Amino acid sequence: MANLSILLSGSISVTDTTLAPSPTIVSRSFNNPTLAATATFFDPFFQAAAGGTAVTLPAATVYFAYVKNLSSTANLTVAFTPVGAGAASSVLLLPGGVFFYFLPAETGGGISALTLTGTGGTVPADVGVAA
């Protein structure tokens, strides 16, 4: 039985700052989807080594993953294995960049492995995963 509730709350707004007043071109609410989770792992200062560091997943499949590159100078590679897909995928996060995966339905998909690799040395990251 789920004992954790992960709520995605927020919105995205795009404005044209070349005009005054700045009109809003896109405004989109996330409508607060919620993941009913049973386990989580969170590390606000995860150390991603240059050779790669696996993130400890709290279950075989996670439906929420969040990684933020905390470095102001170094890049961070996020490698993940999507459930049901043939190959792993990776994303390069520049300093301050964010990787986000959220699947509240838990009807398929998910991530079964997550590895962070620092560029040129250890890179700090804010990491959270849940299942």
Residue owning tokens 């620092």: 118
CA 129 to CA 131: how far, in whole Å? 7
Tell me what pLDDT residue 82 has. Answer: 94
Contact 73, 48 (CB under 8 A): no
C-alpha dist (Å) from residue 78 to 3, 18, 52, 99? 28, 35, 9, 8
Type of residue numbered 54: A
pTM of the model: 0.90
Q: Which residues does 71 contact at the CB level (< 8 Å), separation at least 6?
A: 95, 118, 123, 124
- Topology annotation, domain 37-130: Jelly Rolls (2.60.120)
Interval 77-87 mean pLDDT: 88
The domain spans of the chain are 37-130
Quick count: other Cβ atoms within 10 Å of Cβ 6?
Answer: 18
pLDDT tens-place string over residues 27-37: 999 999 999 99
Supply 59's token pair.
């279950």
Quick count: other Cβ atoms within 10 Å of Cβ 59?
Answer: 16
C-alpha dist (Å) from residue 61 to 31, 38, 84, 96, 117? 24, 12, 11, 26, 21
pLDDT tens-place string over residues 3-48: 999 999 999 999 999 999 999 999 999 999 999 999 999 999 999 9
